[in-house]
Amino acid sequence: MFKEIASYVQACRNCQAHKVDQVAPAGALHAINIQRPWEHVTVDLVEPLPRSHQGHTWLFVLQDRFTKWVELVSLLQATAKNTTKAITERVLLRHGRPDIVLSDNGIQFTSAAFTNRLAEFGIQHRIAPVYAPYCNSVERTIKSNHKNDDRPIRGG
């Protein structure tokens, strides 16, 4: 009986025109109020690049959302240990403790090593929604510039 009612309602033009949406309204967007440099940091990894002379193939990108300053760290491998060491040396020791670190949900960023390091310093770890690069300024920049940056490498 349920299937019959569902098919009737689907076929009824009047029913479809007056049907109430069952979806909750989207939340209101609001600007992030950042007061100081290195208060809010976004991080991401650039996919494997051509091997450098030192054997590095990955690029770890850290960006301050206040000043848009970027720190780049070349990595031999994209591991949780390497990203944890890089954020410690390039952000925590150099610029101080941020309030928020935003990353995607890569295993390097959701690992116990990375999340524990952030928790040690009282840093809130936020994970950007999947398939939403507009939430992570680093990811957005990488996606838009990556095609142009590797043209000399590809010979094009």
Mean pLDDT of 16-33: 74
Q: Determine if the pTM surpasses 0.75.
A: no
Burial of 118 (0-12, 13-18, 19+ CB in 10 A): buried
Question: Per-residue confidence at 12, pLDDT binned at 50, 70, 90?
Answer: confident
pLDDT in tens, 109-141: 999 999 999 999 999 999 988 766 666 666 656
The token pair at 63 is 């960006």
Average pLDDT of every residue of the chain: 84
What integer pLDDT is reported at residue 74 of this predicted model? Answer: 93
Look at the block and give the residue holding tokens 């240990």: 81
Residue 130: give the domain boundaries: 40-148
48-71 pLDDT, tens digit each = 788 889 999 999 999 999 999 999
CA distance 96 to 130: 29
**Within a domain: residue 89?**
yes
pLDDT confidence of residue 153: 41
* pLDDT confidence of residue 155: 38
Cα gap 46→143, rounded to integer Å = 9
Q: How confident is the model at residue 143 (pLDDT cuts 50, 70, 90)?
A: low
The answer to the question of residue 111 being in a domain is yes
Residue 96: inside a domain: yes
The torsion of the CA quartet 101, 40, 74, 94, rounded to 10 degrees, works out to: -110
| Rounded percentage of the chain residues whose pLDDT exceeds 70 | 80
- The structural domain count of the chain equals 1
Residue 59 included in any domain: yes
CA distances from 147 to 41, 150, 156 (A): 24, 6, 11
Residue 15 clears pLDDT 50, i.e. is over it? yes
For residue 10, the model assigns a pLDDT of: 85
CATH number at residue 85: 3.30.420.10
Does residue 7 belong to any structural domain of this protein? no
The residue among 75, 31, 32 whose CA lies nearest residue 55 is: 75
